[in-house]
Structure 1
Amino acid sequence: MHELLRSNLNFFWGGVIAETLSQCGIKHVIISPGSRSAPLTTGFALNEKIKTTPVLDERSAAFYALGLAKASGLPVALICTSGTAAANYLPAVIEARYARVPLIILTADRPPELRDCAAGQAIDQQKLFGDYIHWYHELALPNRALLPYMQKSLQQAWRKSLGCGGPVHLNIPFRDPLAPVVDGETWELSDDAIRAVHKETFSKRNVDLDSILADQSSVSRGLVIAGPDISTAPKKYARGVLNLAKALGWPILADTLSPMRHHGRMDEWVIAHYDCVLRDLELSDTLKPSAVIQIGPLPTCKVLRKWLSDLNVPTSIISLSLDNLDPLHRPANYIQASPNDFATHEVEPKRSDFLEIWLNENRKVAERFESAFGACDELFEGKISWLLEKHLPENTPVFVASSMPVRDVEFFWPANDKHFRFAANRGANGIDGTLSSAMGYVEGCGQPGVLLTGDLAFLHDQNGLLMAPEFEGSLTVIVINNNGGGIFEKLEISKFDPPFEQYFATPQNVDLAQISASHNLRHSAPTNWDAFISEIKSLPESGIRIIELKTNRKEDMAFRQKLFKK
């Protein structure tokens, strides 16, 4: 144990917390500066088995941790001081809760005697995040006799976060001293002071694929709907879902955040353009299934959700989570399993007329997009997603901002076998924290990646650029600069100006080249598709660069509507 952690009880306590979480499996901790958290910060910073990253802004720190945890599937820890610092974690905590991303939040706090008495930097931190966390506990004040209790609490935090797939919160009070001043006692990490903490495993219900197939054996007009998933074994996940669909002879409607869109030759099973297909009301009526199997959460697509809500067919939902994953409130049979469980099954592929109808309509849409984009010389936002699939290096991690970028990816990014790893903050569908989340995700994936974002989402989190000097990954940020919120052009309020332009579109008129220069980042602004393609065909090995594409949101919305009406 480092000498500083042997100086007094507080810093010894912080050192044991770090070592215990290290034994549980924590690999990465994001730390924001503060005084009350000094024992925690020092304990983790001096633990050679844990990677620590300092981030000034707690809001950026939390979203950065969120991205890291999405990439690894393992809990990432956050440390901040007392007061309003922890309140800045809330947006990322909400996203983690709904996206089922494991985070362990360690908030330092004033001791009980300094609460509710006008002491500085003291707020009520008890259950600060409410029902958005899976588990909350406040540790006792440091006490050598309570080491076994403290370690058990930390082990429980790890277990709850990993097992439930979401955030947990430990509030940790400290009295002075908040510096490693020597108190004359002997504080040493020995076998008597800390017990080894063993990783715990979680049993999964072993579901036999044959039993699922038997339940659906008489159904020829069925659909498999693969929702967003951040599987750390995407190839295995994709094989499992494909085995299920092949054995049933059903088409797979795959969200763009599902591994199904990007792993394996899926053109004979995966329907990528279901949003456009289902906009034809007469056609959508002929495509109604007689049964549905939903994998994980539903895709966010409003057209699909509205169509499903009007159906009255047997529905099964496959998920390891016991959360309610049906915003349509249909009668459903929950099957606690993972598609990974089906990956090794040998199945006999079946074909059905229903499958062929879906595939034929999907091909028609793909050909329509191919023709329209091939003839499109203007910088249309939607063509960016279409080109990225064609020209990005295989295996690229791709993070997509909520709002219009993720919808364009949903519309126009075809099924492929290029093994892209996709992520977005769609648990709560907000634009906050986009840049910080992408930085964490790409660094966690360990290879050069891309963020596709609009100008408002980028500017909303530009504090994330403060992490650029510490950033160890490679991130190419593609900013669609349409000078405002393009998605609001879809709303009825867009026909009324004022107040639309000032209060909804909210154009910012910010020079992104100057922002890039102030952080010593490379910036480019291609004015044609050939220049853009040359920028994305290869990605830099390290650092952050910004590619800005200036578009016209009103013209782009009209182009989308024309494409869909066809």
Structure 2
Amino acid sequence: MISTKKHVQQLAALLHQKGINDVIISPGSRNGPMIHTFVGGGLFNCRNVVDERSAAYFAMGLAQALNKPVAIVCSSGTATLNYAPAIAEAFYLNIPLIVITADRPEYWIDQLENQCINQKGIYSNFVKKEYNLPLEESETELWQAAREINECLNAAISGKPAPVHINVPLEEPLHDLLNEKLPNIKAIDAKGSVLDIDDASLKKLATELNAAKKILILAGQQNPDSKLEKLLAAYSKKTGAVVLKEHLANLNDESFCESIDTLMAAILADLPVDFQPDILITFGGHFVSKALKQFLRKNKASQHWHLSPANDHYDTYQSLTEVLQTKAMTFFSQLLPEVSENEQEYLQRWKNKENEVNQLRDKYILESPFSDLKVIAEVGQAIPENSVVHLGNSSPVRYALISDWAKNTTFLSNRGTSGIDGPMSTAVGYSSVSEKINTVLIGDLSFFYDSNALWNSYLGENLRIIVINNGGGNIFGLIKGPGESPAFQQHFFAENKFKAQGISQTFGLDYLSAENESELKDSLADLYSPTRKKPAILEVFTDAEVNTKTFRGLFKFVKQ
């Protein structure tokens, strides 16, 4: 049984024809025609998540895991506003969400009608394309709507993927049904093109690379890509170029450099000019490290080439000289045969410094008191190989990027907008279709903020949540400024005295806890036991003052 609303029928038919068959529904009445059609048509994998904010993040994680668009459907009014944080995150992480919002007819806007706000352009800064479906169902309006829906769905995945918004005004009756199949609506395809570098440009780039003594390649946040990893390793080996990456780049070759924050601390205390690149090549998404940005802004490369199929002019390091409209895979595969073998002096300088820093880091952590730094180092060694780790923002993502981890770990984090509001919901969506162990590493404030992530039926036995409970927002004790303010304790740190045990019981998860190193080792062994068949929360309690002192002490130790 499907809705009698023809625009809704068309929308569902085109989604199905384009292979967009996963739909996250939040219950409501105004979106009833969509619910009836998506569920009753029998062609869609429909999941129900009540909290719209959590539902949108869940869909984002699901889209990452499936590597394809996911649709989200909600009612009108504030339900639509609750989608906004995840839509913004998806926009900056290039994740294609198909946002479908029900709406009142335009004639009821601003007329004291219930559950009614102005929804036109509501996400305009964070969607690639938006379309307000017509209310009437004449042949011409249905033709126009089908064309616009096609264009929206194509836009979501063409070029740089991003969310799109389709707003659906609906008149009552909302729940009249037909015992029919979806109509056959013409799907319009949009083919992408491969962006190769032309011969003249290739020769010019190769000449400049061969002349450069210090080439630095920054690999930003991206999904795992084994082919690109092998190609970068071969390029670095041949040319002596340094590949610098954080864990979120998901590149694991041992010839690459990581541990960036501690590495930067040592470099800045040494002779930064020795590490200053002649040519900087960047691709991928965000970097977490503020120190890296400061280093490259103060020690600018003579040339900065950014690789972007979407022609993005990202001048993060204030030295951009050229945007190359191509993929990293294409760029390095075309350049590798053209460049000459070069000396390894620059690469060896980076690797020597990294080895020195890592030895100091390991010594410091081994001798340090029980703290967030030690906890996350232990977690990194305890999780099984070939796992997925979802890093919460603020402290966890920064600590995690200092530590070593089990081999073949995939790292994900909501670094598009870097908010604390949806990491667990995103992880639950991802883990619901993942066959691997999925660990969420999250702070206490972020855990409580997003606790509705556990309020659904899709928690798999592969889900592990590690809550670092340091009594508040410890990130503000780590960075300079807030800790010296008289408003720190109440308004920055936001002291938290609650525990996760009650939430664990409410949603039916196993609960473990640890307050010292011995308890932590035992709890981690239990958490990752091969016999565990149920999702679980491990809450680790640390002292904020000890955390701050230990974290700052690490960088002083490395600088020495």
Fold equivalence (TM over 0.5): yes
Q: Please say if residues 96 and 427 of structure 1, whose CA atoms lie closer than 8 Å, have aligned partners that are also in contact.
A: yes
Equivalent of 1:169 in 162, 165, 168: 165
For residues 554 and 326 of structure 1, the distance between their equivalents in structure 2, rounded to whole angstroms, comes to 37
Paired letter, 1:215? E
Equivalent of 1:256 in 247, 256, 262: 247
Using the TM superposition, name which of 235-244 and 104-113 deviates more: 235-244
Q: CA deviation at 1:320?
A: 1.9
Residue in 2 aligned with 1:499? 487
Paired letter, 2:229? A
Using the TM superposition, name which of 330-339 and 73-82 deviates more: 330-339
What is the 5 A alignment of 1:162-201? 162-163=157-158, 164-180=160-176, 188-189=180-181, 193-197=183-187, 200-201=190-191
For residues 126 and 88 of structure 2, the distance between their equivalents in structure 1, rounded to whole angstroms, comes to 6
1:320 paired with 2:312, answer: no
Q: Please say if residues 227 and 257 of structure 1, whose CA atoms lie closer than 8 Å, have aligned partners that are also in contact.
A: yes
Residue in 2 aligned with 1:102? 96
**How many matched pairs?**
543
Q: Please say if residues 65 and 103 of structure 1, whose CA atoms lie closer than 8 Å, have aligned partners that are also in contact.
A: yes
Q: Please say if residues 320 and 337 of structure 1, whose CA atoms lie closer than 8 Å, have aligned partners that are also in contact.
A: yes
Paired letter, 2:537? I
Residue in 1 aligned with 2:10? 16
For residues 312 and 436 of structure 2, the distance between their equivalents in structure 1, rounded to whole angstroms, comes to 32
Residue in 1 aligned with 2:540? 549
What is the 5 A alignment of 1:21-420? 21-141=15-135, 143=137, 145=139, 146-163=141-158, 164-180=160-176, 188-189=180-181, 193-197=183-187, 200-207=190-197, 211=203, 212-229=205-222, 231=223, 234-260=225-251, 262=252, 266-267=253-254, 269-280=255-266, 281=268, 282-312=270-300, 313-341=302-330, 350-376=342-368, 378-413=369-404, 418-420=407-409
Using the TM superposition, name which of 294-303 and 507-516 deviates more: 294-303
Q: CA deviation at 1:170?
A: 0.7
Summarize deviations over 1:251-300 as a string: whole Å, max 9, x none: 1110221022x3xxx22x21112321221322323211211111223513
Query: Structure 1 residues 543 and 222, CA, compared in 2 at 3 Å: closer, same or farther?
Result: same
3-state DSSP class of the match of 1:128?
A: coil
3-state DSSP class of the match of 2:211?
A: coil
Q: Please say if residues 391 and 536 of structure 1, whose CA atoms lie closer than 8 Å, have aligned partners that are also in contact.
A: no
Q: CA deviation at 1:188?
A: 4.5
Paired letter, 1:451? V
Q: Please say if residues 376 and 399 of structure 2, whose CA atoms lie closer than 8 Å, have aligned partners that are also in contact.
A: yes
Paired letter, 1:519? F
1:514 paired with 2:509, answer: no
Q: CA deviation at 1:344?
A: 6.2
3-state DSSP class of the match of 1:116?
A: coil
- Return 5+ residue gaps in structure 2 as ranges: none
Paired letter, 1:508? N
Summarize deviations over 1:448-490 as a string: whole Å, max 9, x none: 21100010111111111112x2334621001101010111002
Q: CA deviation at 1:219?
A: 0.9
Q: CA deviation at 1:228?
A: 0.9
3-state DSSP class of the match of 2:353?
A: helix
For residues 524 and 249 of structure 1, the distance between their equivalents in structure 2, rounded to whole angstroms, comes to 47
Summarize deviations over 1:140-184 as a string: whole Å, max 9, x none: 1252624443332222122111123111111011111111257xx
For residues 299 and 288 of structure 1, the distance between their equivalents in structure 2, rounded to whole angstroms, comes to 18
Q: CA deviation at 1:189?
A: 4.3
TM-score of the pair, normalised by structure 2:
0.91
- Return 5+ residue gaps in structure 1 as ranges: none
For residues 177 and 540 of structure 1, the distance between their equivalents in structure 2, rounded to whole angstroms, comes to 52
TM-score of the pair, normalised by structure 1:
0.90
Query: Structure 1 residues 200 and 472, CA, compared in 2 at 3 Å: closer, same or farther?
Result: farther
